[in-house]
Structure 1
Amino acid sequence: MRSVNKKQVWLQFLLFITLGLAAVSVFAQDEGDDLMSLLNEGEDETINYSYATFKTSRVINSHSVEQPARGVLLFLIQHRFGRLNTGAYELFGLDQATIRLGLEYGITDRLSVGVGRSSFEKTYDGFVKYKLLRQSTGARNMPVTISYYASTTLNSLSWSDMGVENRTNYFSSRLAYTQMLLIARKFSSKVSVQLMPTYIHKNLVPSEEDENDILSFGVGGRVKLNNRVSINAEYFYTPSNQISYDFDQPISLGFDIETGGHVFQLHFSNAKAFFDNGYLTETEGKWSLGDIYFGFNISRVFTIVKPEQFKN
């Protein structure tokens, strides 16, 4: 097992936040030329914002650019059964289950925060998501929506279950960090695509051959079948030279079904974990061998602060 100094971790964490925001700034300049001048020129014109790029805050495993409006609390239940290829004895995975319960809250229409707890590796997670740019036409022409997303996970397994009981262990060794730029475009009322360049940092890795800093790239999308149902897909590619142990690239397919205030997501994935560094770097299932997990996400929103209370 290889661990890193806690001070170095935070320095790297802050450095990559800075680099991520700098990259967004460059992108915005390239795409928008000068947003302030566009705003000044179009004061009397209408800005037409794109909305509902995705149905909920998740594509399948990964976050989407969607988030709760300010004053809105989202309760999310994520459930995944065992592998389909376990056969009739395990009722094709139904006898096994992994679950995550989470809460997300919109502080503003751009900023949201969330916490959750997964049964897989007894992992706690917290995240922040900020909408930097929003797809729009009219007075402001912006071709994509961009959100910055950062999460921290804490593995609360006992040291013996983690296989590191015979070494000096630190609390920081339980932590891992993930950062993403969520770059989405709604091409039409039926088709949306999202790109997800991703950086992961693990304070503790299994061996000297494993990298503490891991880069990955994801793509996700949805195609609406009607006003209430869509097909979703998601894929991440992580170069294998960063990880020494056996893992597979996560691939997920599913459906979104909206019913009133609920959104049901039914999906199939070769990933067992719900948290970022889990499904990105610890996926072992292979679609070709039937290592497929059936699962669902259920989200429900609650208005905690009514919109009228934000008005002066």
Structure 2
Amino acid sequence: MKIKTFKSRFLILFAVLTVSAIQVFGQEELEKELNNQETSHEKVLATFKSTKLINGPTNETLYKNELDFKVDHRFGDIAGTNGGVRRFFGLDNSTDVRIGFEYGMTDNLTVGIARAKGATAVQQLYEGSVKYRLIQQTTDNRIPVAITLFGSNTIAGVQANRDDPTSPIAYDGFKDRMNWVAQMIIARKFNSNFSFILTPSYVHRNFTAFRDQNDLFALGAGGRLKFTKRMALVVDYFLPFRNKSDKQYLEQVNATKFYNPLGIGLEIETGGHVFHLNFTNATAIEEIQYIPSTTSSWLKGQYRWGFSISRRFSMAHKK
């Protein structure tokens, strides 16, 4: 009787333990599956370390309540007829300077204001910009690329030149001073060391020099190659699609030639700062100028030092 009772109790205990084990195992598998589903679509972060590569913007936006203070600078030609030792390899001259602030309204929406000197006759530039993160890449490649939209309005404050109607600053009214840029920034982070970007761009200038284009399309491309924990090589390039006859006319009249802006730089992370040391043939910093109006050539030594310093601050209220 005792043996049968022992066996009965043993069988009951074994059955309870077996059912419990099955339930625990099933629960663990279910939790594991749910966790996999939650993490499989994890968003890719830090495709680039700054909101700007060299000349063009990146897909990055600021976090909510984050403020980014940025200073960009372009010097004169390093070599060529306007460079060399006499001008201390361009450091004696400044072709353009820009000071700007960007603020994260949300994690996906960044607004900005800036003031730039301007590198053409169109100077004293005031810029307002908006950047919106539309799509973010995921680690499982369900979404293989990130897409960010960028738009800006730039107003020229320079005094109008009404004596020469062919001048790019022969403004009749305020609306002539307005310029617009729209860009779709398509980016992909291939791994922790390499990111690539394509930037279809549209530039509209309400007023231009005689036979210059008011509307201009361009395609930008760039990349970031990280080679140490704190340093990376960055490159970007823009190909404007100009009207051939207008381009030839302007080059003949101005005795110059248009070139495509190419930038190569070294990115250095220093805690809260991101520092860029750049070399580019673009004299201007604003999109409304370096995309349509680059007239310097790398092959002629007409490239210049440039730098960009970015410092971010958290403006969130502490509880």
The corresponding residue for 1:54 is 48
2:198 partner amino acid? L
Match of 1:214 among 216, 224, 229: 216
Mapped to 2, the partners of 1:42 and 1:142 lie a distance apart of 19
Q: Tell whether 2:73 aligns with 1:75.
A: no
The corresponding residue for 1:304 is 315
Judging changes above 3 Å, is the alpha-carbon distance between structure 1 residues 297 and 163 closer, same or farther for their aligned structure 2 residues? farther
Judging changes above 3 Å, is the alpha-carbon distance between structure 1 residues 87 and 131 closer, same or farther for their aligned structure 2 residues? same
Q: Tell whether 2:289 aligns with 1:285.
A: no
2:238 partner amino acid? F
The corresponding residue for 1:128 is 130
Judging changes above 3 Å, is the alpha-carbon distance between structure 1 residues 136 and 163 closer, same or farther for their aligned structure 2 residues? farther
Runs (5+) with no aligned partner, structure 2: 1-33, 251-256
TM-score for both structures, normalised by structure 1: 0.80
Measured after TM superposition, the shift of residue 286 of structure 1 is 0.4
CA deviations 1:207-235 (Å, max 9, x no partner) are 2x332111100001010011210000000
2:103 partner amino acid? Y
Mapped to 2, the partners of 1:162 and 1:237 lie a distance apart of 33
Measured after TM superposition, the shift of residue 240 of structure 1 is 3.0
Judging changes above 3 Å, is the alpha-carbon distance between structure 1 residues 53 and 161 closer, same or farther for their aligned structure 2 residues? farther
Mapped to 2, the partners of 1:115 and 1:163 lie a distance apart of 31
Segment of structure 1 superposing worse, 282-291 or 86-95:
86-95
Task: Give yes or no for contact 2:147–2:186 (8 Å, CA) kept in 1.
Answer: yes
Mapped to 2, the partners of 1:270 and 1:222 lie a distance apart of 19
Judging changes above 3 Å, is the alpha-carbon distance between structure 1 residues 248 and 43 closer, same or farther for their aligned structure 2 residues? same
2:135 partner amino acid? L
Measured after TM superposition, the shift of residue 111 of structure 1 is 0.3
CA deviations 1:124-177 (Å, max 9, x no partner) are 111100000000135x82101100000111111111399558966111111110
Segment of structure 1 superposing worse, 82-91 or 123-132:
82-91
Mapped to 2, the partners of 1:44 and 1:225 lie a distance apart of 33
Mapped to 1, the partners of 2:163 and 2:62 lie a distance apart of 35
The corresponding residue for 2:101 is 103
Match of 1:257 among 246, 251, 268: 268
Q: Tell whether 2:59 aligns with 1:65.
A: yes
Runs (5+) with no aligned partner, structure 1: 1-40
TM-score for both structures, normalised by structure 2: 0.79
The corresponding residue for 1:117 is 115
Q: Quote the sequence identity (%).
A: 36
The corresponding residue for 1:196 is 199
Mapped to 1, the partners of 2:227 and 2:287 lie a distance apart of 28
The corresponding residue for 1:147 is 148
The corresponding residue for 1:17 is none
RMSD: 2.2
Specify the structure having the higher radius of gyration (Cα): 2
Structure 1 segments, 4+ long, off by >3 Å, are: 41-44, 161-168
Mapped to 2, the partners of 1:45 and 1:78 lie a distance apart of 40
Measured after TM superposition, the shift of residue 88 of structure 1 is 1.6
Alignment length (residue pairs) = 266
Mapped to 2, the partners of 1:211 and 1:260 lie a distance apart of 43
Judging changes above 3 Å, is the alpha-carbon distance between structure 1 residues 72 and 247 closer, same or farther for their aligned structure 2 residues? same
Q: What secondary structure, in the 3-state scheme, does the structure 1 residue paired with 2:92 have?
A: coil
Mapped to 2, the partners of 1:43 and 1:131 lie a distance apart of 25
The corresponding residue for 2:14 is none
Mapped to 1, the partners of 2:186 and 2:311 lie a distance apart of 25
The corresponding residue for 1:22 is none
The corresponding residue for 2:181 is 178
1:283 partner amino acid? T
Q: What secondary structure, in the 3-state scheme, does the structure 2 residue paired with 1:137 have?
A: coil
Mapped to 2, the partners of 1:60 and 1:195 lie a distance apart of 14
